[in-house]
Structure 1
Amino acid sequence: MGLFQMLKEDVDVVFDQDPAARSRFEVILTYSGLHAIWGHRLAHACYIKKFFFLARVISQLSRFFTGIEIHPGAQIGRRFFIDHGMGVVIGETCEIGDNVTLFQGVTLGGTGKEKGKRHPTLKDHALVATGAKVLGSITIGENSKVGAGSVVLNDVPDNSTVVGIPGTIVIRDGKKVRKDLDHHKMPDPVADRFEKMDEEITRLQKQIEDMKQGVKHDGDSDL
């Protein structure tokens, strides 16, 4: 594919994905996601020619102006769309297929100092919603979706929806996997812990009141 055709395709996908887009002139001048993608395409071209320093300079300049950090080593396919984009981070060994969509605050990152392939692979038509974190050398399957705020640490099969912390598959091939977890009801381990502590405090308070009134509980000593 020629350079001009690729640039035109990057603009066209904005109109396919964003109903707020009004004109090509507006999109080209004001869409930071588009600017970040174009900056990455240039940085990646330098990276594969082993101009590593120049590639990083370009990527950092793009990050400064767009708020989107894409390592020049990341492999990104056609018709990639970043909506809004502020805070998006894409790691060095990420592999992103065609027609993939990311929203603001998404991290495609690693889990430590491991070498080799350490960032996610997103297959064609994947979507990662606002604030989600996809971490490690895992794969998000074709046509799969990651819900807002989720933290995904394991592979997601094709045609699936995953939500929560840690990410849990709730829909696969159009069928619900779990009926007790909705997209708007994310697991909250901190709140769960506070609820258990509150229950324990209530139990202890009742036991103290009973002891004051001379009521003996199971396990209490006769002494």
Structure 2
Amino acid sequence: MPALARHLFRGLLLLLALTAAAGAGAGVAGARPTLLFTDPGSDTAVSDPPQSITLMFNEPVTPGAPAIVLHEGAGREIPMGAAETARDGRVLTARPADTLAAGTYTVRWQVTGADGDLVEQDFRFAVGLALTGDGSAADGPSTSWTDTALRWLLLLGLAVALGGLIAERVTTTARRENPSLPVLRSPLVAGALIGLVGVLGLGAALAASPAR
């Protein structure tokens, strides 16, 4: 790979790394736990009442007291069972005591990370309805987890690009010692392009989302 192109791709890798770090730390400081995934998804609608509320974090967490609180659209608290952890404390699950009726719901969660800091946030979802930008509900189909897919696409591209850069250095060193070795195509370019798609997609989604 020409030197100029190599420098350009290294700069792109740095941009991807900084974007991934910024996205992972949005809304929290330092090494606090980051919420990666929820089921039901944040700002989504499901046709059938969920049997449980599941949260996935980037690191092991200790459930707060209470860990997961659920409120219906009118503000009434929905009784929830005790929160359970899985996957070495990275997954937190609680089950509603009763079947959820159609409507909008707000999940308020609080956990303590490895650094001892208490983190609490909330998200909303709907049952049998579609959420609008102002938090009200309207009849409609379920929404997609576009943001979640784009975040994973960004991380995948970053991982592939970094792996390609390491592989390129290893093969270059090996060919210096044995020039007869074949030249292997590095996935550096493909990984950088995948990550760039994730960055652009997240930027477009952020620009299109209404202010809260």
TM-score between both structures, scaled by the size of structure 2? 0.27
Bigger relative contact order, structure 1 or 2, given CA contacts below 8 A and separation 6+? 2
Higher strand proportion: 2
